[in-house]
Amino acid sequence: MAMVGKGLTLERAKELQADKYGYSVHELKGGLLVRFEEEDVVELTTGAVDIHMHAYPDNWQRPSIVNIGERACELGVKAMVWKCHKTSTAGESWILQHYLDMWASQRGLEATKIYGGITFNKSVGGVNPDTLREQIVFPHFKTVWMPTHDSDHEMREVWGQEGGITILDEKKELKPEAIKIVDIIAKNEAKTGNKVLISACHLWPNEIIALIKEASSKKVDVLVDHVTQELTKLTIDQMKEMVDLGAYLGLYALSCVPNFYIPMTDPFNVKRIVEEIDSKHIVIASDCGQPLSVLPPDGLKAFIRTLLALGISKQDIKIMVKDNPAKLLGLPSDL
Ligand SMILES: [Zn+2]
């Protein structure tokens, strides 16, 4: 079968590009999409948790975390986890929280909680237990992101280069530093009660599976990021294997709905994944925060609207955008 990328058939790509496609989407009755209520979009956005988003300050142009934070308060987003590919965002999140608490209370709004963490790219020494040991005790530290742009997977597949970071040794077993990372997170939770999530980011599928096995054995959660994005796209069988081992799957607006950065993605895949995997193993997030994307809270809201239009139930969306991310971050239920 002729394919356009890992998951899109040439036939489906032609359908998405057809003259009548946009018009058929418009026809609610007997068309591709179902009718939804805007008040349901608002209800699901209020109290949502965006577990994966980006912002400025960064080494690249992005929308300001201050503007994003204010917008999140306006939309009633409960919490956001701010990812930077280069450095820790935990301390910055703590400072921003003080500002947002003040800004929101002046307007009679609830302040969105902002959390951060660290991404194990080369700028922090790769998958580095020493870095984590010092960083994990910072306030608002909630996530460890595995290598992204410096990963062996991305460097080989996207850029055709060697020298990327891998967490497996020659025998395809987890390297000691990856095992230590899981240990540090587990011990830190036992000591402080702060739950920290591992996000798999751009690792190879076999690296992710080894990591999930190790993490699950120590009761540390793993979120498998953007499973519909070309580099990290998984088959339904791979998704099932990871979920059976205890992982959660991330479906993010940026890689589920066509946009400036990812123009070729079929949003109808999302419905299939939710049906085949079950919402209790899935997390919805925006992954927005690029200069040409809408602000992350608006991206999340638009994604919720898309999911309703695809016919995914309110209950499933609530589980994916509120319950599961709150559980993965160990957020208090009264937050
Ligand atoms: Zn991202």
Residue with the bigger pLDDT between 22 and 54: it is: 54
Q: Residue 333 pLDDT > 70, yes or no?
A: no
* Percentage of the chain lying above the pLDDT 70 cut: 98
Quote the CA–CA distance of 94 and 114 in Å, as a whole number: 7
Q: Is 143 helix (H, G, I), strand (E, B) or coil?
A: strand
* Percentage of the chain lying above the pLDDT 90 cut: 89
From the CA of 100, how far away is ligand 1's center (Å)? Answer: 23
Strands 197-199, 49-53: pairing kind: unpaired
For the stretch 175-230, pLDDT in tens is 999 999 999 999 999 999 999 999 999 999 999 999 999 999 999 999 999 999 99
Q: How many other β-carbons are positioned within 10 Å of the β-carbon of residue 234?
A: 21
For the stretch 48-101, pLDDT in tens is 999 999 999 999 999 999 999 999 999 999 999 999 999 999 999 999 999 999
- Per-residue pLDDT at 287: 98
Name 194's Cβ contacts closer than 8 Å, sequence gap at least 6: 136, 141, 142, 188, 330
Q: Is 104 helix (H, G, I), strand (E, B) or coil?
A: helix
From the CA of 74, how far away is ligand 1's center (Å)? Answer: 23
- Per-residue pLDDT at 1: 82
Tell me the average pLDDT across 293-307. 98
From the CA of 87, how far away is ligand 1's center (Å)? Answer: 14
Quote the CA–CA distance of 144 and 132 in Å, as a whole number: 8
pTM of the model: 0.96
Quote the CA–CA distance of 93 and 116 in Å, as a whole number: 6
Tell me the H-state helices in 125-194. 129-135, 152-157, 176-192
- The residue type at 255: S
- Per-residue pLDDT at 335: 62
Q: Which CATH superfamily is domain 37-325 in?
A: Metal-dependent hydrolases (3.20.20.140)
Which residue has 């599976």 as its token pair?
A: 209
Please tell me the least confidently modeled range out of 16-20, 127-131, 247-251, 314-318. Answer: 16-20
Torsion of CA 260, 264, 265, 267, to 10 degrees: 70
- Per-residue pLDDT at 29: 63
From the CA of 244, how far away is ligand 1's center (Å)? Answer: 24
Q: Cite the beta strand spans of 42-150 per DSSP E.
A: 49-53, 79-82, 113-119, 141-145
From the CA of 28, how far away is ligand 1's center (Å)? Answer: 32
Beta bridge partners of 223: 199, 248
Q: What CA–CA distances, in Å, run from 15 to 19, 134, 256, 310?
A: 9, 52, 17, 17
Quote the CA–CA distance of 51 and 199 in Å, as a whole number: 10
Q: What CA–CA distances, in Å, run from 263 to 96, 255, 258, 293?
A: 33, 9, 5, 12
From the CA of 205, how far away is ligand 1's center (Å)? Answer: 17
From the CA of 65, how far away is ligand 1's center (Å)? Answer: 15
- Per-residue pLDDT at 306: 96
From the CA of 170, how far away is ligand 1's center (Å)? Answer: 29
Q: How many other β-carbons are positioned within 10 Å of the β-carbon of residue 293?
A: 21
For the stretch 252-297, pLDDT in tens is 999 999 999 999 899 999 999 999 999 999 999 999 999 999 999 9
| Helices and strands (DSSP H and E) totals, the chain | 15, 10
- Per-residue pLDDT at 171: 97
- Give me the phi and psi of 283, to 5 degrees please: -125, 135
Name 61's Cβ contacts closer than 8 Å, sequence gap at least 6: 291
Residues 209/245, Cβ–Cβ less than 8 Å: yes
- Per-residue pLDDT at 309: 93
pLDDT class of 33 with cuts at 50, 70, 90: confident
From the CA of 54, how far away is ligand 1's center (Å)? Answer: 6
What one-character-per-residue DSSP string does 225-252 give? --TTSTTT---HHHHHHHHHTT-EEEEE
Domain borders along the chain are 37-325
